[in-house]
Amino acid sequence: MDKGRDEHRSQEEDEDEDEYTDEHTITFKERKSKYGRRTQVEVLLGFVVHLLMLFYWVFVHVYDASVVKSLSEDARRVAFPTHDQFLGRWRFLTYINMWMCLGYYFLAFFTDIMPRSYLKGVFQDIVDFAFTALIFPMSLFVAVAFWGVYAVDREGIYPLILDSLLPSLLNHVWHSFIVVCVILEMLLVFHPYPTALRAIISMFVINIIYSIMVVYLRQATGKWAYSFLHSFPPPLVPVFFASSYVTTIIFYYIGKTLAYLRWGDRITANIKGEVKQD
pLDDT digits (tens, 9 = 90+) for 20-79: 333 333 333 333 334 446 788 888 899 999 999 999 999 999 999 998 888 888 888 887
Beta-carbon contacts of 31 under 8 Å, excluding residues fewer than 6 positions away, are 269, 274
Beta-carbon contacts of 211 under 8 Å, excluding residues fewer than 6 positions away, are 241
Q: Which of 15-29, 75-89, 191-205 has the lowest mean pLDDT?
A: 15-29
Torsion of CA 104, 109, 110, 112, to 10 degrees: 130
- C-beta separation of 251 from 136 below 8 A: yes
Q: Directed axis angle between helix 136-152 and helix 236-263, to 10°?
A: 130
Q: Side chain identity at 157, as an amino acid letter?
A: I
Residue 46's Cβ-count burial label (10 Å; 0-12, 13-18, 19+) is buried
- Domain parsing of the chain, residue ranges: 43-272
Beta-carbon contacts of 135 under 8 Å, excluding residues fewer than 6 positions away, are 100, 101, 104, 182, 185
pLDDT greater at residue 11 or residue 119? 119
Helix (H) or strand (E) holding 93: helix 93-113
**Gap between the terminal Cα atoms of the chain:** 57
- C-beta separation of 149 from 156 below 8 A: yes
CA pair distance 9, 58, nearest whole angstrom: 71
Q: For 26-37, give one letter per residue: b (16+ CB within 10 A) or e.
A: eeeeeeeeebbe
CA pair distance 237, 225, nearest whole angstrom: 13
- C-beta separation of 111 from 124 below 8 A: yes
What is the radius of gyration, based on Cα positions, of the chain?
Answer: 25
Q: 278 pLDDT exceeds 60? A: no
DSSP code, position 115 = P
Q: 153 pLDDT exceeds 90? A: no
| pLDDT-derived band at 232, boundaries 50, 70, 90 | confident
List, as one string, the DSSP characters of 10-72.
HHHHHHHHHHHHHHHHHHHHHHHHHHSSPPHHHHHHHHHHHHHHHHHHHHHHHHHHHHHHHS-
Q: CB count, 10 Å around CB of 204?
A: 13
Q: 157 pLDDT exceeds 50? A: yes
Q: How many helices (H) and strands (E) does the chain have?
A: 10, 0
pLDDT score at 60 = 94
Beta-carbon contacts of 63 under 8 Å, excluding residues fewer than 6 positions away, are 170, 173
The pTM of this model reads 0.80
Q: 259 pLDDT exceeds 90? A: yes
Q: CB count, 10 Å around CB of 192?
A: 22
